[in-house]
Amino acid sequence: MIEDQDARPPGHMKFVRVAGDDELGEGELHGVSVGEVPVLLVRLDGHVYALGRICTHEYADLAEGSVENGCVVCPLHGSKFDLRTGEALTLPAIEPEPSYKVLIENRVVYVAVQDAEH
């Protein structure tokens, strides 16, 4: 059964397995790498979000931050990024985090990334 949260990914994207569905506890930050791409996974209110994992301000791993009011909070200077969109909501970060499509199928979590063959 497909518990797709969004539509299929746009062209030149492919879904890559990143975790088992039961590995993602509610409100927990989970850092993974999809090929060379560091990705942050968070389950919040039953929905799984995938954002870029490295802060857009300076180098900090958002998987070491915290979750607050639908945002991930950077562990270094406290910028907040909206989990739904990746938007930087508070300074000092200005640039948004990339936001990736998530697919959950047969209790496996997949994230859509750029297909290297294109």
Residues lying near ligand FES in the complex (CB under 6 A): 55, 57-58, 60, 74, 76-77, 79, 92-93
What six digits make up the tokens of 64?
A: 């070491």
**Residue 56, φ and ψ in degrees, nearest 5:** -85, -5
Q: Shortest gap between Cβ of 16 and ligand FES (angstroms)?
A: 26
Are 62 and 29 spatial neighbours (Cβ–Cβ below 8 Å)? yes
| Cβ distance to ligand FES smaller for residue 92 or 98 | 92
CA pair distance 48, 40, nearest whole angstrom:
10
- Residue 54 CB, shortest distance to ligand FES, in Å, is 9
CB of 49 to ligand FES, least distance (A): 18
